[in-house]
Structure 1
Amino acid sequence: MQTYEIQVRNRNEQPTAVAEADLDVSEIAAWLERQYGAIAKVLAAQGSVPSGPPFARYHHREAEGRFHVEAGFPVTTVIEPADGVGPSTLPGGPVVETVHTGSYDTIEPAYGALACWVHEHDGELAGAAWEVYLTSPGARPDPGAWRTAIVQPYRIH
């Protein structure tokens, strides 16, 4: 079992370029793969480039196994909406972060470690976490080598 090192940070609000969809869990991976290329094309057409690795933020829906997914790249300037890609932001403020090594289907304990840390430090989760994909599955096909940062906003009671 992986041990998770928890980092506490105060982040600035981050402009992003994203695509959004409501998806079943089984649809997410294929959708993400298509969207990152499409977003990169929109950025290039607007003379922009990502300022960091791709991310995805998962907002739980009431229906079991469904999420509203916001996926894209951080950017340095706000983009114009085009071809299903639009501007958004990742929130600023206090966050806890950790890095998961391994396949995406084994990432849930990392979320648990963050939630436990927040509750043990008299805090509460403040909105949806997001995953930052530090390793490209195309470049490293072994899922055991994939590294994913999880960022969870929180607030102190």
Structure 2
Amino acid sequence: MAFLRKLLMFFAIVIGILFVVSFFLPKEASINRSVVIKASSAQVFDYLNKAKNFNEWSPWFEMEPEGKYEFSGPEIGIGGKLAWEGEKTGKGTQEIIESNPYQNIRSELIFDGQPPAYAAYDLEPLNDGTKVTWSFKVDLNGPIDKYMGLMIDSFVGDMYEAGLKNLKAKVESLPKQAELAIQVDSIEHKPELVTVDAQALLYVSNKVDFDADKISQAMAQDYAKLIGFMAEKQLNFAGPPLAITTGGSPEEGFWAFEAAMPIDIPAEVDDASEIKFKQSYSGKAVKLVHIGSYMSMSASYEKLAKYVADNGLEMNGNVWEQYISDPGVTAEKDLITHLYFPVK
């Protein structure tokens, strides 16, 4: 009995020590792995920004392809959600909660019965491609969680490395940016009648001389103001930036426009602020994909105007452009811009 009491006392002391030590352990666990993908940050971002693409490279889907998987929410960006359930992978959800074009994407993961965890993809443009850093972070609440957190790297490190290897192979197998531009040009470079949904927009109104350098400078300043406001108010991007024409032409020598940024939720703005909020146009529109320089759009606009006239359509508001490619990483000849004419 004396031996048993000593043994129990020994275990009690060990447990007590472990409990006390746990107060000094990290309150969160994290892991990250990186890979360089030979593709532009725009192409990598566009691929990762679609929740439904996750299972194409996920090591967990590879481990249990027979599990139950369900996608919901928007096809692109914030709100895209994957739910899964399997014997090996358990049960949970992964939802995109932040999406900053060509920079990073952040997702919330809910594992059955556990507090939220967060995963992120951070993109860094390089001369020969894009460095992708995939990270995971979770808060640790109790002593057991904190000790388990010390082993997170050994638990999932290999899975992250395998996933990034799959991601690299998948993205590098896609058409490169120049090839993609040719493909879009051959398939989509014709006007088409579409229906567009309203989006929440922040915008700044401006008017400049019809000069390429002045237009570029004005738009850069306006988008910087919008991004600064969004950061201050903790608002998220909900799509690529756009510009709405409100007046002017090359013949008149000026261009009046609204530099706009789609956001995920309505925003409150001060009446005196130059930054305004509104819902974008919704309804029928004629869309055309333009490939090339921003200053070479005249022919594309002529195609749109001809389509409207030939089909007996009537204009129904201001035209707008949406800038799909990132000019910082895409050659000017390969820039993709979506042009829209709203019609009745």
TM-score with structure 2 setting the length: 0.42
Following superposition, the deviation at residue 108 of structure 1 comes to 1.1
Question: Where does residue 131 of structure 1 map in the other structure?
Answer: 321
Q: How many residues align?
A: 153
Question: Where does residue 120 of structure 1 map in the other structure?
Answer: 310
- Local SS of the residue matching 1:10: strand
User: Does 2:250 correspond to 1:65?
Assistant: no
Question: Where does residue 101 of structure 1 map in the other structure?
Answer: 291
Following superposition, the deviation at residue 88 of structure 1 comes to 2.2
In structure 2, relative to structure 1, the CA distance for the partners of 1:89 and 1:24 (3 Å cut) is farther
Larger RCO, structure (CA 8 Å, separation 6 or more): 1
Larger radius of gyration: 2
Following superposition, the deviation at residue 6 of structure 1 comes to 1.8
Written as runs of structure 1 = structure 2, the 5 A alignment for 1:1-157 is 4-26=189-211, 27-61=214-248, 64-81=252-269, 84-140=274-330, 142-155=331-344
- Local SS of the residue matching 1:124: coil
Contact 1:56 1:132 in 2 (8 A): yes
Q: Which has the higher helix share?
A: 2
Q: Which has the higher strand share?
A: 1
Q: Aligned letter for 1:111?
A: Y
Rounded to whole Å, the distance in 1 between the matches of 2:218 and 2:293 is 17
Rounded to whole Å, the distance in 2 between the matches of 1:90 and 1:151 is 12
- Which shifted more, 21-30 or 57-66? 57-66
Contact 1:115 1:125 in 2 (8 A): no
Q: Aligned letter for 1:20?
A: S
The list of structure 1 runs, each at least 4 consecutive aligned residues, that deviate by more than 3 angstroms after superposition, is: none
Contact 2:244 2:260 in 1 (8 A): no
The CA RMSD over aligned residues, in Å, is 1.9
Structure 1 regions of 5+ residues with no counterpart? none
